[in-house]
Amino acid sequence: MCVNSLRNGNVISLATQRMDKLIDEFLNYIRLELNQSRHTVAAYRNDLGLWADYLERRGVAQPSRATLAHVRAWLVERKNANDGPRTLRRRVQALRAFYKWLIVRGEATDNPAAYVELARLPKRLPTVVRENRLDTALDADIDKSDVDAVRDRLIVMMLYETGMRRAELIGLLDTNVDTAKRELKVRGKRDKERIIPFGEELASWIGTYRALRDEGAGTQGTFFARREGLPLYPSLVYKAVHQSLVEAGAHGKLSPHVLRHSFATAMLNGGAGLGSVKDLLGHESLATTQIYTHVTLSELKTNYKLAHPRAQKTKGGN
């Protein structure tokens, strides 16, 4: 009995090593071949690690032996561990992609996650900052001889006026900021590049910042830099945005991504076409951009109720 237990233990150990190797190879594939972001790779690593642990606990030696029943039981387990709908949805997507890759490799013949219905996500409208608060933030007086103050103002201005993502702003190359043409070349998700135009005011602030930056340590290639010339980091960008908006009297979620939402909403409210906004944001699908039409509709309804003399009138004329 002890020999059998040891043998079984060795089988599981070898299977675990094999599973870990497959997961690593799959993650390298989606990172190098599919150009998935590091955030996606990290999330999938966690998802597949939990799946591998589950299979090991259930004595399933090979991923190809997993069934739909295993996937469903694992998702119930994860739900009981307080995974929300969005997380559960991503875990299923990770499994689907992993097994699809295994099938191509000849390591599996079926995709058990393909038969699982994705968890439905609650519809949430993007949070935006009102234009008057943004105007207050961007028009406030600052010391234009202070490189950090000018940089932080430009961070807020650039995020709001271009709609770029925080990671795109951090990675923005100095050579890709053209004030003569008033264009930015942004490298977005999956290394896709796009051109974003900007206005005269932003061009002026860019010139001011560049002069101050280059008087100091300069930059190591990125447009934005810290005093020592090194690139920015995510929490620094968040702090610059949050502090500026709080000082302007804004409330609620005040993150860099909220400025991206605010950009899209302002563009649509100003009459820009949905397709143009899609291209400026770097969205893969028009369906992703369409959520902002709901935001603008919600804004219209609110303005109507506040402005129209009969909008608040109740039944019977009361």
pLDDT in tens, 28-66: 999 999 988 888 999 999 999 999 999 999 999 899 999
**Entry pTM:** 0.66
Task: Give the pair of three-digit tokens for residue 127.
Answer: 């949070």
Does the annotation count 292 as an active-site position?
yes
User: Does the residue 126 lie in any domain?
Assistant: no
User: Does the residue 190 lie in any domain?
Assistant: yes
User: Does the residue 121 lie in any domain?
Assistant: no
What is the DSSP pairing of strand 193-197 with strand 183-187? Answer: antiparallel
Does the annotation count 260 as an active-site position?
yes
Q: Which of 31, 72, 226, 257 is catalytic?
A: 257
Using an 8 Å Cβ cutoff, are 247 and 137 in contact? yes
Q: Which of 260, 261, 304, 313 is catalytic?
A: 260
Q: Which of 112, 123, 108, 101 has its CA nearest to residue 75?
A: 112
Angle between helices 147-162 and 256-269 (to 10 degrees): 50
User: Does the residue 233 lie in any domain?
Assistant: yes
pLDDT confidence of 227, banded at 50, 70, 90? very high
Q: Which of 165, 210, 261, 278 is catalytic?
A: 165
Q: Which of 89, 194, 242, 283 is catalytic?
A: 283
Residue 9: predicted pLDDT: 44
- CATH code at 19? 1.10.150.130
Residues 164 and 244 in one domain: yes
Range of the domain at 184: 131-307
- CATH code at 268? 1.10.443.10
- In the chain, the number of structural domains is 2
pLDDT tens-digit profile of 170-179?
999 999 999 9
Cα separation values, 218 from 154, 223, 226, 227, 231, Å: 16, 9, 9, 8, 11
Residues 177 and 275 in one domain: yes
CA gap 98, 107 in Å, rounded: 11
CA gap 31, 35 in Å, rounded: 5
Residues 161 and 286 in one domain: yes
Residues 111 and 145 in one domain: no
CA 149 from centroid of its chain's CA atoms: 26
Q: Which of 182, 189, 242, 253 is catalytic?
A: 189
Mean pLDDT over all residues of the chain? 89
Task: Give the pair of three-digit tokens for residue 92.
Answer: 């299923």
Does the annotation count 153 as an active-site position?
no
Using an 8 Å Cβ cutoff, are 52 and 23 in contact? yes
Higher pLDDT, 265 or 10: 265
Does the annotation count 283 as an active-site position?
yes
User: Does the residue 120 lie in any domain?
Assistant: no
User: Does the residue 314 lie in any domain?
Assistant: no
